[in-house]
Amino acid sequence: MKSTVIVFPGSNCDRDMKVALEKATGSTVDMAWHGDTDLKPSDLIVLPGGFSYGDYLRPGAMAAKSPIMANVIARAKSGTPILGICNGFQVLCETGLLPGVLMRNASLRYVCRDVHVKVEQPETPFTLAYQKGAILRIPVAHHDGNYFADADQLDRLEGEDQVVVRYCNEDGNVAASANPNGSQRNIAGICDGSRRIVGMMPHPERLFESALGGCDGLGVLDSIKQAVNTAVAH
């Protein structure tokens, strides 16, 4: 399995994702610099968390115009699975690969803590290892995680089962009190119509083994391996 993590100026979770992917898949991971114009063949591309370009203009806006992103977009449109975590989710929205935007948290404060999310869409390359309705404890760390889209777009996301994970309490109830940033309809992650492109604010790479305090994020990594192996077999 060949994976690539894109590195932007200001990325701070690129190495975490590389380590997590290598442990979960048993394969080495390529690190591609934002200024590169080409990517090696890859079964998976990850846009990691961080503060690309210092979040100038707005988070992800400048990274979306990086030289490497033209190739990432082309790979996405040709069927390569793409995962965007936190800042990577913001970048995916800024490129138009995913709908909506990530705005400033409703509290206007940086949020860094564990949250609970409910798996709403298990049929993506990143959620295959989970059952629909599974409740996960995963960390968030962001200042701009407030997902916004207009009412029609939100209805389309719901109607086409493109909401992947949703903030909830530990009992699985989707409540305003469980929403760390004010995201509409408690949305924590979405996918595109093909379900191969996924963006989420929580960081599964920060909770994938017991040494980190839990393994709830491991399913994201196991799902990737399962999806790629299945694709190769066919």
**Catalytic annotation, residues:** 86, 203, 205
Q: Which residues pair with 84 in a beta bridge?
A: 47, 199
Distance CA 144, CA 101 (A): 10
Determine contact, residues 146/107, Cβ cutoff 8 Å.
no
d(CA 135, CA 79): 29
| Residue among 62, 60, 70 at smallest CA distance from 93 | 60
The DSSP symbol for 221 reads H
Residue 175 amino acid letter:
A
- Specify the pairing of strand 197-200 against strand 82-85: parallel
User: Cα 23 from chain centroid?
Assistant: 19
Burial (Cβ within 10 Å: 0-12, 13-18, ≥19) of residue 15: middle
Nearest to 143 by CA among 118, 108, 176: 108
Angstrom distance (rounded) from CA 94 to CA 90: 6
